[in-house]
């Protein structure tokens, strides 16, 4: 396969640290044989002097005007991301722990594919096909409808705590799941799974590649041997 871009975003606020960024970078490095470029979108707080001191080598830093969870929107415009040199982009949150090979995930045959929002045993009726953009791949500008909708609603950049009642309230994920305006394929459930919904009290599923710690707890708040092994 041709090279892929792997992207993450760090706003620089207290929720995540530079150590979280570095652990994700190292996790990718250990778990794929496919050539890649790693792009990190950094918000205004992360751009302050000294904030990026100690960042792992080989990371392309792109300054973003957006804060909080919006920081990655800097790279969402398909017509204005000259730093992306590949047809495919894998985006991940900083609260992802990589526990297995990413190769099959990266080569999954879809132009738009993400982790499943709910594991089968915890899935509300009607939400069986919901996506979670904590981990997702877009190819050949298949994410254009997401950017167009973001522009249509005025490019919001409000704080996470202010989301109630807002249009585009959960970013692209909520818009997709509520409107079904865009079809998103889903990775096999065991490949990319939520810690709190699918792993806690159950253990890692067979053939797991990524565990997402969306919400709480975060990896640093959990004392389990497999986290100590892989989140380093």
* CATH number for the domain harbouring residue 108: 3.90.550
- Does 226 reside within a domain? no
pLDDT of 167: 65
Q: The dihedral of CA 135, 145, 130, 112: what is its sign? A: negative
For residues 90-94, average pLDDT: 97
46 is in which domain, residue-wise? 4-95+102-189
- Does 77 reside within a domain? yes
Single out the residue of 110, 103, 129 nearest to residue 210, CA to CA: 103
Tens digit of each residue's pLDDT (9 = 90 or more) over 151-177 = 998 888 777 666 666 666 667 888 899
Tens digit of each residue's pLDDT (9 = 90 or more) over 107-134 = 999 999 999 999 999 999 999 999 999 9
**Is it the case that residue 88 has pLDDT exceeding 70?**
yes
For residues 83-101, average pLDDT: 97
Instruction: Count structural domains, the chain.
Output: 1
- The rounded distance, in Å, linking the Cα atoms of 193 and 135 is 10
Contacts 24+ apart (CB under 8 A), 122-125: 122/197, 122/198
- Does 147 reside within a domain? yes
Residue 205: CA atoms inside 13 Å, Cβ hemisphere, count? 19
For residues 209 and 191, the answer to whether their CB atoms sit within 8 Å is yes
Q: Which of 21-35, 40-54, 67-81, 88-102 has the lowest mean pLDDT?
A: 67-81
């Amino acid at each position: 396969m041709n090279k892929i871009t792997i992207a993450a975003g760090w706003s620089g606020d207290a929720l995540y640290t530079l150590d979280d960024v570095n652990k994700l970078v190292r996790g990718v490095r250990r778990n794929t044989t496919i050539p890649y470029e790693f792009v990190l979108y950094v918000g205004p707080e992360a751009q302050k002097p000294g904030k990026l001191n100690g960042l792992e080598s080989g990371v392309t830093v792109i300054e973003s005007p957006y804060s909080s969870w919006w920081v990655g929107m800097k790279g969402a415009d398909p017509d204005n991301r000259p730093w992306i040199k590949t047809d495919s982009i894998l985006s991940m949150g900083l609260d992802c722990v990589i526990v297995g090979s990413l190769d099959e995930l990266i080569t999954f045959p879809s132009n738009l594919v993400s982790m499943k929002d709910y594991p089968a045993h915890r899935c509300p009726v009607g939400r069986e096909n919901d996506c979670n953009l904590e981990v997702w791949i877009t190819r050949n500008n298949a994410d254009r409808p997401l950017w167009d909708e973001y522009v249509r609603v005025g490019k919001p950049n409000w704080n996470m705590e202010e989301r109630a009642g807002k249009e585009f309230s959960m970013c692209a994920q909520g818009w997709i799941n509520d409107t079904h305006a865009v079809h998103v394929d889903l990775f096999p459930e065991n490949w990319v799974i939520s810690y709190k919904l699918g792993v806690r009290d159950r253990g890692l599923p067979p053939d797991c590649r990524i565990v997402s710690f969306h919400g709480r707890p975060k990896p640093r708040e959990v004392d389990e041997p497999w986290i100590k092994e892989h989140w380093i």
